[in-house]
């Protein structure tokens, strides 16, 4: 039996998934760590926590599988910034994807490069989560630390450095830095020159299934791995998850509902949305690209509502299932932590709109779930404008485990919904990339043939889909008519 391990360096912990050549999961392991918020809007982690958790995960899997582990693939949270000195030592805690301190630097990037030029080259506008503004923040706010910088890495690539000694990344993760030329799949000299960032700070860019060295002898011995286990370049978490759900051709999307929500679509050519409303990144499929629509508070909205009501998820969803589509004229805006797609507005605010004395907690829960899916449909409509025409959507994350969530996705998107047999997320896709790097499969296309979907698709209800078409248009209009009020409330609540 040939086994590859996918390691996901996530926001809350590292997860390892070992799969054999038929795609069967043979072992898993998880080790958590904390996110630190030393100031409002900041989110940081110690990169050594990632390494310690990865060692624990790989050590556990090696204890179960030993020499059967033939390869490792890496994935993880995107956009974070790990700053290293010339000796490879961490200079300061890493700034994460959800860190919001870099608004001033985003404005500076847009001014220096030009909005249209930036989106044309990188596929995206300057957003606070991306890596480039974090580098500029370090230069502006911590010049002594900045003077020591010799390397800037993404989270999973710091783990790769500790694992193999190699400085490397992959195109899908690099596309989320704002330093990459999207079409050419290499670092952009014009962007680096405009921002005065040395290109030597950035690692070599590989395609996701390519080899990027092997586990070092000392680490292999310490973890109980066989010598020189090859390590694949891997991918950013969304791209790796797309490999694990076989989103590797046009006509199929994935709809992932976790804390955030993501619609992921494969595209054959680099064709970003010039307005920057949705992300365009390189795919983990060599030479291919993808579009991502991101809702910041998807499952996070339901978690907030659970905490407010003191009810369980099951109880809330059970009540919501008793309410007719449209929640009797009640609409929820899920902008509890600002919004990404399509508004790019960190000051957007959530709201229930249309409350009457007749509405109950069940109506409010129903409206909340519908509002989350309307926010994802916002991104779907933009993808359709760009020529993406999905016949099927594969549901993943928490949105794949509830009959109500599944049916509502089918009805709101007005598209068939399918589920995969195995639900292991990004780590599963990273393991498949590891298998390709090891030669188990000849290509990513061959590898994803082991991904199986369940034979019980959920079809849209025509009556409900019609109701949601009308409700969606009202939902869409609300932000445009209230955004100035949202910003006023943010200013009112700000200290000083």
Q: Is 161 helix (H, G, I), strand (E, B) or coil?
A: helix
Which phi and psi angles does 155 have, rounded to 5°?
-55, -55
The CATH code of the domain at 247-419+461-493 is 3.30.420.40
pLDDT at 398: 77
The answer to whether the bond into 154 is cis (omega within 30° of 0) is no
Q: Is 193 a catalytic residue?
A: no
Task: Find out whether 484 and 343 touch, Cβ atoms under 8 Å.
Answer: no
What distance in Å separates the CA atoms of residue 395 and residue 352, rounded to the nearest whole number? 26
DSSP secondary structure, 90-139, as one string: B-SPEEPTT--TTHHHHHHHHHHH-HHHHHHHHSS---TTSHHHHHHHHH
Burial class (CB in 10 A: 0-12, 13-18, 19+), 428: buried
Integer Cα distance of 405 and 58 in angstroms: 34
Distance CA 335, CA 112 (A): 30
**Beta carbons of 44 and 99 less than 8 angstroms apart:** yes
Q: Which helix (H) or strand (E) holds 28?
A: strand 25-32
- For the chain, which residues make up each domain, given as ranges? 3-242, 247-419+461-493
Q: 180 with 187: CB under 8 angstroms?
A: yes
* Res 111: pLDDT: 95
Return the pLDDT at 495: 66
Closest C-alpha to 117, from 127, 128, 125: 125
Distances (CA, A) of 161 to 79, 140, 364: 17, 27, 48
Residue 169 DSSP SS3? strand
DSSP 8-state symbol, 89: -
* Per-residue pLDDT at 107: 95
Is the Cβ–Cβ distance between 342 and 278 less than 8 Å? yes
d(CA 144, CA 137): 12
Look at residue 496 in the predicted model and tell me its pLDDT.
Answer: 58
Give every CB contact of residue 462 below 8 A, 6+ residues apart in sequence.
none
The pLDDT value recorded for residue 296 is 86
Burial readout 44-73 (b: 16 or more C-beta within 10 A, e: otherwise): bbebebbbebbbbbbbbbbeebeebbbbbb
User: What CATH topology corresponds to 3-242?
Assistant: Nucleotidyltransferase; domain 5 (3.30.420)
Please tell me whether residue 253 adopts helix, strand or coil conformation.
strand
Single out the catalytic residue among 237, 273, 378, 411.
237
Q: 457-484: buried (b, 16+ CB within 10 Å) or exposed (e) per residue?
A: ebebbeebbebbeebbeebeebbeebbe
Let me know if the fold of 3-242 is the same as that of 247-419+461-493.
Answer: yes
Q: Which residues of the chain have pLDDT under 70?
A: 495-496
Cα separations in angstroms, 168 against 121, 153, 174, 208: 22, 8, 10, 11
Q: Which helix (H) or strand (E) holds 227?
A: none
Smallest Cα–Cα separation from 417: which of 458, 374, 461?
A: 458
Contact of 59 with 219, CB cutoff 8 Å: no
């Amino acid at each position: 039996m040939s086994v590859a391990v996918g390691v996901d360096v996530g926001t809350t912990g590292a997860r390892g998934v070992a799969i054999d050549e038929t795609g069967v999961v043979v072992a898993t392991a998880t080790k958590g760590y904390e996110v630190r918020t030393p100031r409002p809007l900041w989110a940081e982690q110690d990169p050594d926590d990632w390494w310690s958790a990865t060692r624990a995960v790989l050590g556990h899997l090696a204890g179960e599988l030993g020499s059967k582990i033939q390869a490792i693939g890496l994935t993880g949270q995107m956009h974070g910034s790990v700053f290293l000195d010339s000796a490879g030592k961490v200079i300061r805690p890493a700034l994460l994807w959800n860190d919001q301190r870099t608004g001033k630097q985003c404005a500076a990037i847009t001014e220096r490069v030009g909005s249209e030029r930036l989106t044309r080259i990188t596929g995206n506008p300057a957003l606070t989560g991306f890596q480039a503004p974090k580098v500029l923040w370090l230069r502006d706010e911590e010049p002594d630390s900045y003077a020591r910088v010799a390397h800037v890495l993404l989270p999973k690539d710091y783990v790769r450095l500790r694992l193999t000694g190699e400085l490397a990344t992959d195109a899908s993760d690099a596309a989320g830095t704002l330093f990459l030329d999207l079409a050419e799949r290499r670092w952009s000299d014009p962007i680096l020159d405009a921002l005065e960032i040395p290109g030597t700070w950035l690692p070599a860019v590989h395609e996701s299934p390519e080899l990027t060295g092997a586990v070092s002898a000392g680490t292999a011995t310490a973890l109980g791995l066989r010598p020189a286990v090859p390590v694949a370049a891997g991918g950013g978490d969304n791209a790796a998850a797309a490999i694990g759900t076989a989103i590797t051709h046009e006509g199929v999307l994935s709809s992932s509902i976790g804390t955030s929500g993501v619609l992921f679509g494969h595209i054959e050519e680099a064709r970003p949305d010039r307005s920057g409303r949705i992300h365009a990144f390189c795919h983990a499929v060599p030479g291919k690209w993808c579009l991502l629509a991101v809702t910041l508070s998807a499952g996070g909205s339901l978690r907030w509502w659970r905490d407010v009501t003191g009810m369980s998820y099951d109880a809330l969803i059970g009540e919501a299932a008793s309410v007719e589509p449209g929640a009797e004229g009640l609409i929820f805006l899920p902008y509890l932590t600002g919004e990404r797609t399509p508004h790019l507005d960190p000051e957007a605010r959530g709201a229930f709109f249309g409350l009457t004395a007749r509405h109950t907690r069940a109506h409010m829960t129903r409206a909340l779930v519908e509002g989350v899916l309307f926010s994802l449909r916002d991104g779907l409509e933009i993808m359709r404008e760009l020529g993406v025409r999905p016949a099927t959507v594969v549901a993943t994350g928490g949105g794949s485990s509830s009959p109500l969530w599944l049916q509502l996705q089918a009805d709101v998107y007005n598209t068939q919904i399918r589920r995969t047999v195995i639900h292991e997320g990004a780590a599963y896709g990273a393991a498949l990339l590891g298998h390709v790097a090891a030669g188990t499969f000849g290509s990513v296309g061959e590898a994803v043939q082991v991904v199986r979907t369940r034979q019980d698709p959920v079809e849209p209800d025509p009556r409900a889909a019609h109701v949601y078409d009308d409700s969606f248009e009202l939902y869409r209009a609300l932000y445009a008519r209230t955004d100035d009020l949202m910003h006023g409330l943010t200013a009112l609540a700000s200290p000083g």
